A = this chain, B = another copy of it.
Amino acid sequence: MAVTIRQVASAAGVSVSTVSRAFTAPDQVQPQTLQRVREAAAELGYSPNPAARSLRGGRTGSLGLIIPDIANPFFPPIFKAMQARARRLGYTVLAADTDEREYDELETIAAVSKQVDGLILWASTLPEERLRELGAEMPTVLVNRHVEGMAELHVSLSAGIAQAAEHLKAYGHTRCVFVNGEHGEHGRGKSIRQVFEAHDLSLTELGPYEPRFETGVHAATLVAAGDATAVLAHNDLVALGVLHQLAKLGVGVPDQVSVIGIDDTLLAATSTPSLTTIRISADEVATRAADLLIDTIAGKGEGRIAEIGSRLIPRASTGPAPAEPGGSAAG
């Protein structure tokens, strides 16, 4: 059925070893022979069988990307960019999502790990102990988790948050709300509080809730009843819920309340009004993660920690704070 190295060898009048070398170490074969082999291979339409190759060589040529939820619009661009990067480096990307279910994560990882040379674990919920074990078994890059000695990539929101704070400050806002869409200690809440308070902005935290549209809807109702003039949401999806509910309640955005999201997904660019948000570059994240993993596979990445930044993308959902309700009424 498929054409094998043997057929190429006999067509080119050389041994299989030579054909193999022609593909994996071209400089070890004489130019003239190399060409004969290449011609024969091209003519027969030969290309190496990855199964045989990985059986023998122990490497599969694939990278595993484990993410919480591929349907979260934040991830597809990352997957896409990583695939592009990986392909140029001779790798393929195998993506699998854990469906946000923690108890599935180990199983998913087990299924994927046998087919790849290394793993990128995005915001894993596994206990540190397990991560350590995993790292011992196979090259692993952790995104947004810390385990001493492992390769890690951290997506830092601080630059974006600082810019958001400045942005709001410049518009005259003073009372802000953060809609926390995440339980647990790895949340975004702490650094947001610090930065905002450093900018002299009061910050009320709602939640923690789940990072869903409905969370934003719920939060918006609370916001409308309060006196805050700016909302920072856990991510774009939550921000969209806020936008949606504020519109329904007749609260003008950005005239009465400004809204800021996080992630800069497609949702942010296409909403009405378009959403000011904190962008994390998918290209950069994907490229760095892939490179870091490939380095780790090569044995020179372990323990390295990379950090990538973020920045505010001002759009139409933020604007000047409304006049103070001081003595008169407003709502």
A residues contacting B by CB (< 8 A) are 47, 49-52, 54-55, 60, 69-71, 73, 75-77, 79-80, 83-84, 87, 92, 94-97, 99, 110-112, 114-115, 213, 237, 240-241, 243-244, 247, 266-267, 269-274
Contacts and interface: CB of A to CB of B under 8 A. Distances in A.
A45 to B, nearest CB: 10
A232 B51 CA distance: 48
Contacts of A96: 83, 92
Contacts of A80: 69-71, 97, 99
List of 5 A-B pairs having minimum Cβ-Cβ separation, nearest first: A51-B55, A51-B54, A240-B270, A244-B272, A247-B272
11 contacts: A51-B55, A51-B60, A70-B76, A75-B76, A76-B76, A92-B111, A92-B112, A213-B270, A244-B271, A247-B272, A270-B271
A115 B93 CA distance: 12
Contacts of A95: 95
Given A84-B99, A237-B266, 8 more contacts: A71-B77, A71-B80, A213-B270, A237-B270, A240-B270, A241-B270, A244-B270, A244-B272
Interface of A is mostly: helix
- Give this chain's copy count: 2
Contacts of A84: 99
Between A75, A87, A241, A272, the greatest number of chain B beta carbons within 10 A of the residue's beta carbon is seen for: A272
Contact of A55 (B49, B115, B247, B270): B49
Nearest to A112: B92
A115 B115 CA distance: 11
A80 B69 CA distance: 8
Contact of A274 (B52, B244, B267, B273): B244
Contacts of A274: 244
Contacts of A110: 47
Nearest to A1: B58
A49 B270 contact: no
A114 B266 contact: no
Contacts of A70: 76, 79-80
A69 B76 CA distance: 9
